[in-house]
Structure 1
Amino acid sequence: MTDNAGKNWGRLIKYHRKQQGLRQDDVALGICTPSYLSRIENGVVIAEQNVYEMLLARLGIDLENEVVNLELKHSFLEEMYAKLLSNETLTQNEIARLESYQTEAFQQEIELLAGLVYSRYLSSLDSLIEARELLMKIEPFITWHQDRVTQMYIGITTYVHISFLEFEEIILREEQQHVSNYMNTTSRFEQANYLYHLAFAHHRYYSFQQALYYINLATEAFTHHYKPLFQLKLYSLKGVILNDLHRFKEALLEFKAGLDLLRNVSALQTPRQRSSLYNNLAYCYECQGLFKEAMSYYEQANSFEEDLHIVINLMRATYQQDDQETLLKLFTNYPRERFKVLHHQYQRDILKYASDREYALNKLKELEELVFPYFSEQEYYSLTLYYAPLWAEFYEEIHAYKRATICFKHAFIASEKVRQRMSS
């Protein structure tokens, strides 16, 4: 019997003893001393299997049947977790069974695993607050050993941090606790998932070299697996990272590998996957100053699934291409009230004002003081680096050089933030 199994049986004995209102003296009589039972229940000692059998039998529990039931539950929970990691949809029967395992008692490892898998299921539904509340209840029971509960806890909390856009929390936990070491005995796919999320967090934090390091590790861990959706995610994220490192040819190779995968795997040919990949391709061309090509890919991305983020990107590329006719159509088709995300609204305001080409000091200053502090607060450094110099040019056109200097300072501060994170 393993130490974990012994501790689980000890917790089970304690749970059922208390449920039945029995004292330790009552249960231990003729089997062991009450003090020894106390140590068994608290996992301080690991007894012989026959001791657990006798103690559980006194509580009316057959250990052999309990082992079989726990193995079935464990197998089911692992199967559900694997499906959730692969973005597969659970059936109604599976959801009902998973819900039936939920308890707040957490007397056994299996109850912790059930809670963890359910929290991952909740997060897949975007019920993030409920998922986090459940994880907070489980957290005190995490032992931080290389056990299954700890491993699932790491993977699931990382996913929830990503969902809440808490990228720095993921990065700091890995740097300070090296939690990836706990994942060494998980499946290669599970390791790849965690490394992918580390890469994603570093990319969104502008530490691009670290992001590239982790996406390469994720790709290596994933080798020889056939999970096309995850493979597509690896191609896409690596391409995005390489693009931000200005390694455009390599980025295009990753995106084109993703296109080949899309063409050959019908299950991937969804509007969401197509629009995402074409949006990434378009941005790669935009970053190279190839605005006509960027417009073409943004338009293709927008045709698959209307995504207002893609629309803003298309507006920006169209403005840079100086295609006033197309830009006017976009402003007409997408009025400001259609955009719900604040930075989308601000970008549309900036691009609309810029395209009108009637610059006035008061209006320029009003937008500047509204938009750039928000970009800074939200750490949208790439937006500041594009729009602040543009705004400085407009100030210079009306000879407002002091205001132009302030805009260049916005860009300088943003570039320093990015530089510091890239070199960290």
Structure 2
Amino acid sequence: MQTKEHSWGKLIKLHRQKQQLKQDDVAFGICTPSYLSRIENGMVIAEQAIYEQLLARLGINLMDQQFKQQEQISFLEELYEKLLSNESLHQKAIEKLMQMQSFGVQLEEDLFAKLVYSRYLLSIKEDDQARNLLLEIEPFIHWKHDRLTQLYVAITGFAYLSFLEFAEFVEREERLPCAHYLQTATSFEQANYYYHLAFAYHRNYNFQKALIHIEKASATFSHQYKPLFQLKIYSMKGVIYNDLHRFQEANVEFNAGLDLLNHVTAIQTPMQWSSIHNNIAYCYECQGLFEQAVHHYKIANESEEDLLAIINWMRACYQLGDFNLLHKLLNKYPFEQFSVQHQKYQWRLLQFACKKEITLESLKALDEEIFPYFMEQDYYSLTLFYAPLWGQFYEQLHAYKQSAKCYKMAFTASEKVRQRMSS
């Protein structure tokens, strides 16, 4: 942040303008109007007595103002810590935060309040409103090792994930390494930022860099008691190891997460149980252990029904050859229940794959609609499973040209993953 004297200068200017006073009126007997102008614009730093006299003329006690500012910043820091920890906020605290939202960005505490409010908006999925607020704040960030820059870097990083802009987040970090702005932030804040980077690199198929950042998050976070965040680290590291085909190490992380869940009542929510079992199931699925995968997908959905875990469960059933269970799931969770596009497409592919009779026209219709979408959205793992399956169906109909096209698509997806993993 800027110095306290710069803040005082801005405060003098703000209240002088509110009271519709000229610089001559306020400066009379204290300093020259031109010197006041330079004080207000942060061009000079005067003696504290000058600030006290100027503010007193405007009816403001500097000591009271400093106490009020410190109290406000402490409140905002406490709120931000709770948001980072995924703790629920009391309604009174939310109302107080909203009352702090001024129409402009006049003082640094206004910026601070807007940044914390934008993080709150992201936590309640008001992403568009949060984005507009962050765009309003951006011109006032000095990109120095100050608190406002730290908050802006961390909150915009989280916003990238909320907007599903993983490549953009990775590109920013590669072009303008932002993690170093957080070197003087708390270790928990640094760990959160590294975790978010790991998430973005992973979703961008850069698993090696994802692993580097999740290990940084783990090392920075060590010796702190925040079990929910520790669980997130175990899960993220396990997911990354799984995609690197380091399955034994992935299982170690997932089992550590299960052990933590079993012993800490405060984090034992249906969502957490479902998430960890979904990850374990997918790890088994990647190893071709489909019976174990189906078992854990079932547990995941007994804990909390989640459409992603359900579509994964259906896919594992198909691979296991348990078509009776797959038909039951398709009937229990019809197409209309899904809203995420790749889940809807998978439902249609799996439902079609269960048919006893297939035609070349129907194969091509789904192929031409769905597979380009998977490739455009970088859903390489889905292409790697479904494209060869369609290739087999084409072969059964002796449509070898179409079959070769599907296998080539799978090869292309495999190469893209390999290139990103090795970058």
Under a length normalisation based on structure 1, what TM-score does the superposition of the two structures give? 0.98
- Report what 1:128 is aligned to: 127
Distance 2:199 2:144 in 1: 25
Q: Give, in angstroms, the shift of residue 412 of structure 1.
A: 2.2
Q: Which residue of 1 aligns with 2:169?
A: 170
Corresponding residue for 2:61? 62
Secondary structure of 1:399's counterpart equals coil
Q: Matches of 1:388 and 1:356 in 2, distance apart?
A: 17
Paired position in structure 2 for 1:82: 81
In the other structure, the counterpart of 1:272 is 271
Corresponding residue for residue 23 of structure 1: 22
2:401 is aligned to 402
Q: Deviation at 1:3?
A: 4.9
1:364 maps to 363
Alignment of 1:137-286 (within 5 A): 137-286=136-285
Question: For residues 318 and 299 of structure 1, what CA distance do their matches in structure 2 show?
Answer: 11
SS at match of 2:45: coil
Is the partner of 1:13 in helix, strand or coil?
Answer: helix
Once residues 338 and 94 of structure 1 are traced to their aligned partners in structure 2, the CA distance between those partners, rounded to angstroms, is: 36
Residue 114 of structure 1: SS of its match in structure 2? helix
Aligned to 2:419: 420
Equivalent position SS for 1:379: coil
C-alpha contact 1:282 1:298 (8 A) present in aligned 2 = yes
Opposite residue 239 of structure 1, the aligned amino acid is: G
SS at match of 1:144: coil
Paired-residue identity, % = 58
Distance of 1:408 and 1:387 partners within structure 2: 10
| Alpha carbons 1:3, 1:46 under 8 Å: kept | no
- State the 1:8 CA deviation: 0.9
CA contact (8 A) 1:8 1:107 kept: no
What amino acid is the match of 2:107? Q
Q: Contact 1:183 / 1:191 at 8 angstroms: preserved in 2?
A: yes
**SS at structure 2 position matched to 1:60:** coil
Structure 2 CA distance for aligned equivalents of residues 360 and 247 of structure 1: 40
- Structure 1 residues 301-345: Cα deviation after superposition (integer angstroms, max 9, x where no partner): 011111111111011111001112111211221221121222111
Which residue does 2:102 correspond to in 1? 103
How is 1:292-331 mapped onto 2 (pairs within 5 angstroms)?
Answer: 292-331=291-330
Residue in structure 1 matched with residue 40 of structure 2 by the alignment: 41
Compare 282-291 and 23-32 and name the one that shifted more: 23-32
Residue by residue over 1:3-30, the C-alpha shift from the partner in whole angstroms, topping out at 9 and shown as x without a partner, is: 5211111111111111111122222222
Deviation at 1:132, TM superposition (A): 1.2
CA distance, structure 2, for counterparts of residue 20 and residue 335 of structure 1: 64
Q: Does structure 1 residue 32 correspond to structure 2 residue 62?
A: no
Aligned partners of 1:209, 1:104: CA distance in 2, in Å?
Answer: 44
> Quick one: distance in 2 between partners of 1:412 and 1:48?
71
Q: Once structures 1 and 2 are overlaid, which stretch shifts more, 249-258 or 150-159?
A: 150-159
Following TM superposition, where does structure 1 have runs of at least 4 consecutive aligned residues deviating by more than 3 angstroms? none
Alpha-carbon distance change, 318 to 112 in structure 1, aligned in 2, over 3 angstroms: same
Distance in 2, Cα, partners of 1:216 & 1:357: 48
Letter in 2 for 1:50: A
- TM-score after normalising by structure 2: 0.98
Question: Aligned pairs, how many?
Answer: 423
- Mark the runs of 5 or more structure 1 residues left unpaired by the alignment: none
Amino acid at match of 1:273: Q
Moved more, 405-414 or 205-214: 405-414
Q: What one-letter code is carried by the residue in structure 2 that aligns with 1:120?
A: R
